[in-house]
Every structure is written in C-alpha cells, then in structure tokens.
Structure 1
C-alpha cells in the first residue's frame, strides 16, 4: 500500500496538470509542508496534531474524515521524501504570493500551538518561507501576527 501512495505522489506532484483533480494534490503538498514544521523539533504532541487538523479543516473546508486521511498521507509522504522541492514547486506554481504568505502564517500557528517556541521550528519555517519566495518582512509579519503582536 505504501508503494501505491508513493507512486501516486510522485506522479501527481511531478505532473500536476495531468492529474484528474489538482486540488487534493495542492492540499497534500500544503499538509506535507505543515507536517515538516510540526516534526522539525523531533517531537509531535497531540496539541500540534489538533492544531494541524483544525488548520486543514478551516483552510480547505474539508470534513474531519478527509482531513484525517490527508494528514496521514502527508505524514507518510514527508517521512519518505528526500527534500521539499516537489511540495514547494507545486505550491509556487499554483499559489499566488498572498496564499504563500497565508501558508507561512499557518506554519507559525502550528509551531506556536504547543506554547513551546522552538528554534528548530523557526529555522524550518524560515527555510520554507525562503523556498516559497516569501519576503523576510512578510515572514516576520506573519510571525508577529500569530503571536498577537501586530494586527
């Protein structure tokens, strides 16, 4: 079964225009990047899992069962991926700048969910923001928004 999932991701992410339904591919890529942030500190707790679930449900307007499946597939994909290129390139191709900034804001929300600010999570978000071509000022702005320091 894992081989089937990996083949799906490789095909769908490598050739999104040929996919029958590109939206789930974008959803999985987004979920995978969020999972990367969540596992940056080598510790995943229930608070972060709940935050990820809530972020995905509200951002993509998905029912709980679909979000559970999405989270599981994204976690498996992240565990077996070599780098972030396939996820980042797909998101850059289909998300405009404001949507990429929103994704960085979601990353900060997830990192701060457990009230345990971690330098490893911040480093991962910084690196992903750079790969997504989100400016440093927007990286900081989204961080401060999530921390409630700016509107």
Structure 2
C-alpha cells in the first residue's frame, strides 16, 4: 500500500515538473486553442487565426507556429484546468498586455463570424484568472467586434 501511494505521489510530482516547463508562447497558444475548442467545433478560420496570431504576436515562423499549435492542442487535451497556461502568461505580461491577450482570444471567437456562448464563457473565465476587469473584458470584445466589421 505504501509503495502504491509513493507511486501516485511521484506521478503527481512529475506532472508539476511538466507544468513548470510551459513557456509564454505555449501558454498563449493553449489559451487560444481552449477558446477555439469551446464550442465543440474546430474550424479552419479559427486555426488560421491562431496560427497568424502566433506568427505576429510571438514572432514565429510558419513552421514554428504550426508545431506550437500542435503542441498546444495536445496540452489542452491533457489539461484538467487552465491554471498552468494562465499562470505563465500572467508572469510574463503587464495589465495592458493581458487586455491585449483577451482581445486575441476574442479574435479567435469571432473568426467564424459569430461568438458561441461557450466561447464567451471560456474567455470570461480566462479574463478573471488574468485579473482583467469586467469593463476591460467587455471593451476588448467591443474593440474586436468593431474592427472586424470595418
């Protein structure tokens, strides 16, 4: 029995080490993927939006952005929560940059032309975990919606 408990605890410690290895780009990509998956559909427009965001926002080449997107999808599939992703993003960003990231999340949600309630919910949850005020959360949504209509 004690051996079994030690085995379980060692697996838990291994998972903690893996979470610590997530860098900013991976954390950001995972949050973008989480929004994309929220409505149960993975659309080409959303994938392209995420890939373009990683290229422009993180300064990656197309191949590197594709690899990162694949890695982020796998991590999101295995994750039990958003904490490890949000935590690393919070550590590397200012308040203003976190609002910009919320706008990036809204861009994914709007990529298919409409925002699903689940996408809204996920972005709202992420905004709360990133300490983005409700007013800034709403303004980010309005900014993205208005810019896509122009």
Q: Which TM-score bucket, shorter chain as reference?
A: 0.7 to 0.9
- 5+ long unaligned stretches in structure 2: 1-13
Q: Does 1:14 align with 2:20?
A: yes
Q: Does 1:95 align with 2:101?
A: no
1:92: how far off?
1.4
CA distance 1:79–1:15, change in 2 (3 Å): closer
Cα deviations by residue, 1:103-145 (Å, 9 ceiling, x for unpaired) = 1000000100000221110011001100110000100010000
1:76: how far off?
0.2
Q: Does 1:27 align with 2:22?
A: no
TM-score (norm 1): 0.83
Structure 1 CA distance for aligned equivalents of residues 115 and 92 of structure 2:
30
When the two chains are superposed, the root-mean-square deviation of aligned CA atoms in Å is 1.9
Task: Give the corresponding residue for 2:41.
Answer: 43
Structure 1 CA distance for aligned equivalents of residues 21 and 140 of structure 2:
31
TM-score (norm 2): 0.84
Structure 2 CA distance for aligned equivalents of residues 139 and 122 of structure 1:
10
Structure 2 CA distance for aligned equivalents of residues 87 and 109 of structure 1:
19
How many correspondences in the alignment? 135
- 5+ long unaligned stretches in structure 1: 1-7, 17-24
Larger Rg belongs to? 2
SS of the residue corresponding to residue 115 of structure 2 reads coil
Task: Give the corresponding residue for 1:129.
Answer: 127
CA distance 1:42–1:27, change in 2 (3 Å): same
Structure 1 CA distance for aligned equivalents of residues 90 and 145 of structure 2:
26
1:13: how far off?
3.6
Contact 1:13 1:90 in 2 (8 A): no
Task: Give the corresponding residue for 1:54.
Answer: 52
